[in-house]
Amino acid sequence: MKSIKFLEVENGEDVAAVHHDCDSDRWIFFCHGYGSGKDGSYVQRCERAVENGFNAVRFDFRGNGESDGDFIDQTLSSRIQDLKRVISEFDPERFCLFGMSFGGKVVLHSLEDLSPQSVVLKSPVLLDNEMKEFREIVEKEGSYTHFGDKTIDRSFFEDYDRYSFDQTVKNIEAPLTIFHGLEDETVSPESTLEAAKKIETDLRIEIIEGESHSMSDKAEHKLQEKMLDQISRNV
C-alpha cells in the first residue's frame, strides 16, 4: 500500500512524498539526485524495501517532480530542509538514509541534525570541488542549465560554499555504505576513495566494475540486495 502526501515546507510551498507502508518500525528515506525525482528506480527500491520489512519514503525536492518551486531557487540548504521536513512528518525511531549522487551530499550535510542508524550512498557527490565544472560555467555565463531545464545561478554556489565536507565528516556516526561504478564519468569513483580517507565511522565501499553513474538493472538489483542486507543489521 502506498500513499502520497504534500508537506508544507515554507512560504506555502509543498514537498510531494510517497509513503510505501509496512507494518514495521523500521524506515528508509530515499533522496534523489541533482535533477531527477522520486519516480523511476525509486519505486522499485521502495517496493523491495517493503518486501524486506521496511517502511519506505521517496520524495521530490522542491523544483523537481510534483513538489512546488522552481529549480533555480533550490539549493543544498533547501534540499536539506526538505529532507528534514519529510522525516519529521513520519517521526521514525529507527531509520536509514539513502542518497543518490547529489542526494548523497544532501544526506551527509543533514547529519548535523539527523541521527539515522545507517546511511547508504550511491555514486555520491562528496568532496567540495565536485561541482567545479558547473561553477566555472556559472562564473563565466551567470547561469548553467543541465538536463534541458535545470538551471542554477550564482545563488546556488553562494549557498553551496556554506558547507564543507571536512566539517560535516565529523558528524558521520552511523555505519556508512557507498556503492560507486568504476566507469562513472559524472562523479569520479576516485573522489569517493579520496573522501573515504577522512571518514572515521564504520565504512564499506563497493566499486562496481563496468558500471557508470546510473548503473545497469543487474547492478541495481545486486545493490538493493546488498543494501537491504547491510541495513537490516543496523536499523
Q: What is the pLDDT of residues 136-146, one digit of tens each?
A: 999 999 999 98
What percentage of the chain's residues is helix, strand, coil (to nearest 5)? 40, 25, 35
Arithmetic mean of pLDDT, 192-201: 96
Interval 77-128: pLDDT, tens: 999 999 999 999 999 999 999 999 999 999 999 999 999 999 999 999 999 9
Residue type, 153: D
The more confident residue out of 11 and 152 is 152
> Is 190 part of a structural domain of the chain?
yes
Mean pLDDT score, 57-73: 97
CB atoms < 10 A from the CB of 155, how many? 14
- What is residue 147's predicted lDDT score, i.e. its pLDDT? 81
The alpha-helical segments, DSSP class H, found in the chain are 41-51, 76-90, 102-110, 132-141, 154-160, 165-168, 189-196, 217-232
> Looking at the domain assignment, is residue 150 inside a domain?
no
| 220 found inside a domain | yes
Average pLDDT, integer, range 37-57: 97
pLDDT at 137: 96
In a domain, 135, yes or no: no
Could you read off the pLDDT of 4-17 as tens digits, one per residue? 999 999 989 999 99
pLDDT digit string (tens) for 168-186? 999 999 999 999 999 999 9
Distance CA 132, CA 148 (A): 19
For residue 147, is it within any domain? no
% residues pLDDT > 70 (the chain): 100
CATH code for the domain in which residue 192 is found = 3.40.50.1820
Q: Which domain holds residue 54?
A: 2-129+165-228
Residue 1: band (very low, low, confident or very high) from pLDDT cuts 50, 70, 90: confident
Quick one: CA dihedral 107, 112, 113, 118, positive or negative? Answer: positive
Residue 85 forms part of a structural domain: yes
pTM over 0.85: yes
Mean pLDDT, the chain, whole residue set: 96
What is the mean pLDDT of the segment spanning 33-44?
A: 95
d(CA 195, CA 199): 7
Query: How much is the pLDDT for 165?
Result: 97
Residue 166: its pLDDT value, please? 95
Residue 153 lies in a domain: no
Three-class secondary structure of residue 21 per DSSP: coil
Number of domains in the chain: 1
Q: Is the dihedral of CA 180, 111, 116, 65 positive or negative?
A: negative
pLDDT number for residue 47: 97
CA distance 74 to 59: 15
Q: Is 77 inside a domain boundary? A: yes
User: What is the reported pLDDT for 148?
Assistant: 82
| Closest residue by Cα to residue 22 from 42, 44, 43, 52 | 52
Question: What mean pLDDT is predicted for residues 22-42?
Answer: 96
Beta-bridged to residue 150, according to DSSP, are 146
- CA 54 and chain centroid, separation: 18
